């Protein structure tokens, strides 16, 4: 089978695409793959590093305001469709899968016009502009949140979940907390704001540090590389706190998540998939700097099921952070109920479901 995949811009679009490729490759080693992205996007670094054949097209996103820049966007969109059609004719894929980002707009649209079976995958509870446009042309739409159904033709929609979920759902526990100077036998909460960190969470964490002293739980905080140096002035306090560790980045995040009781973080699509696949209680602080405030809507999909707590970014302080962590970590029954609710929202067989759609079309 030949599979063409396209998605770009953010890791939330790229990681599911890579997960799909790895899954199919493991199931059918003889399969061939091609990934189409942009030269400037994150995908140009992530995809080749996975030894996946990679080609690029030039395209940019539409501006939501009236601007002459959209004339260039339209020109690039039309020329990129021609370029995508050339790649598709050369590769002759059996299926084309788009995972979001404006780059897949041209690729998936071109495939539909060439009568190649097509699938798009929407990771968030609010559909992106590209996927809303493509839904008119594709054969199937895979979604991760039932709330997203309203944005697409219902007859095309299938609830499949995020492929990332299946990668983490069956990871076994290891003794990893000791690597961070913590104990595996003590209840632990991990806090992070993404690979680069989040300023609001970082500021709240600095205020919260002295409040964690003598708490019966542990805190592992990944500040992000750009904020880590700010903790130099707290070195003496951190030496005294044997239940708090601050690191710039956690490179074995999945192993850590399997070994903690709860987490504090943003509400991006990948995080949501991991949280629910593992059945983790969480305190979500949606980023305010995303299109259509979709992280708040992602978070509310869990809050409404009593599967998470949510704090607005604008309301997060050190005291608010510790108050919510205490609510979660000092009440075992509350945490256990939330864990069960979180697990119910997970779709641990997401890859199998998505592959089922591929089989339907091929």
Find out whether 10 is annotated in a ligand binding site.
Answer: yes
Domain 2-162+348-361 and domain 169-345 have a common topology: yes
Low pLDDT (below 70) residues in the chain: 60-70, 195
Where do the structural domains in the chain lie, given as residue ranges?
2-162+348-361, 169-345
The pLDDT of residue 11 is 82
Find out whether 124 is annotated in a ligand binding site.
Answer: yes
pTM equals 0.84
How many whole angstroms separate alpha carbon 141 and alpha carbon 143? 6
Find out whether 295 is annotated in a ligand binding site.
Answer: yes
How many whole angstroms separate alpha carbon 241 and alpha carbon 155? 56
Give the orientation angle of helix 11-27 with respect to helix 350-361, to 10 degrees. 70
Find out whether 188 is annotated in a ligand binding site.
Answer: no
The pLDDT of residue 66 is 61
Find out whether 347 is annotated in a ligand binding site.
Answer: no
Find out whether 11 is annotated in a ligand binding site.
Answer: yes
39-56 pLDDT per residue, tens: 988 899 999 999 999 999
CATH number assigned to the domain covering 2-162+348-361: 3.40.50.2000
110-169 pLDDT per residue, tens: 999 999 999 999 999 889 889 999 999 999 999 998 889 999 999 999 999 998 888 888
How many whole angstroms separate alpha carbon 268 and alpha carbon 299? 9
Query: What is the β-pairing status of strands 262-265 and 188-192?
Result: parallel
The CATH fold assigned to 169-345 is Rossmann fold (3.40.50)
The pLDDT of residue 174 is 82
The pLDDT of residue 67 is 65
Beta bridge partner(s), residue 3:
33, 95
The pLDDT of residue 70 is 67
Element (H, E) at 347: none
The pLDDT of residue 213 is 94
Specify whether the CB–CB gap between 199 and 314 falls below 8 A. no
Specify whether the CB–CB gap between 98 and 84 falls below 8 A. no
């Amino acid at each position: 089978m030949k599979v063409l995949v396209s998605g770009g811009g953010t890791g939330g679009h790229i990681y599911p695409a890579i997960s799909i490729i790895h899954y199919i490759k493991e199931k059918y080693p003889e399969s061939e793959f091609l990934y189409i992205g942009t030269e400037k996007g994150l995908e140009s670094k992530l995809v080749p590093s996975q030894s996946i054949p990679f080609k690029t097209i030039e395209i940019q996103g539409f501006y939501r305001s009236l601007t002459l820049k959209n004339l260039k966007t339209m020109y690039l969109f039309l020329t990129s469709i021609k370029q995508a059609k050339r790649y598709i004719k050369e590769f002759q894929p059996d299926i084309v899968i788009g995972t979001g980002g404006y780059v897949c707009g041209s690729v998936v649209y071109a495939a539909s016009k060439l009568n190649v079976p097509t699938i798009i995958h929407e990771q968030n509870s609010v559909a992106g502009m590209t996927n809303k446009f493509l839904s008119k042309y594709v054969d199937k739409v895979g979604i991760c949140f039932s709330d997203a159904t309203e944005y697409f033709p219902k007859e095309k929609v299938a609830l499949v979940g995020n492929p990332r979920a299946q990668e983490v759902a069956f990871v076994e526990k290891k003794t990893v907390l000791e690597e961070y100077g913590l104990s595996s036998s003590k209840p632990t909460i991990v806090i992070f704001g993404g690979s680069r960190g989040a300023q609001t969470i970082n500021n709240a964490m600095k205020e919260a540090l002295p409040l964690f002293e003598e708490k019966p739980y542990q805190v592992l905080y990944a500040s992000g590389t750009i904020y880590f140096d700010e903790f130099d002035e707290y070195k003496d306090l951190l030496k005294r706190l044997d239940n708090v560790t601050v690191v710039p980045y956690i490179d074995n995040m999945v192993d850590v998540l399997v070994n903690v009781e709860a987490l504090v973080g943003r509400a991006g699509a990948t995080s949501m998939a991991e949280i629910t696949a593992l059945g983790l209680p969480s305190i979500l602080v949606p980023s305010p700097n995303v299109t259509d405030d979709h992280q708040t809507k992602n978070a509310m999909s869990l809050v409404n099921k009593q599967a998470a707590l949510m704090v607005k970014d604008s309301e997060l302080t050190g005291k608010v952070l510790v108050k919510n962590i205490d609510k979660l970590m000092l009440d075992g029954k509350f945490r256990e109920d939330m864990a069960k609710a979180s697990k119910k929202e997970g779709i641990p067989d997401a890859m199998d479901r998505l592959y089922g759609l591929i089989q339907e079309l091929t």
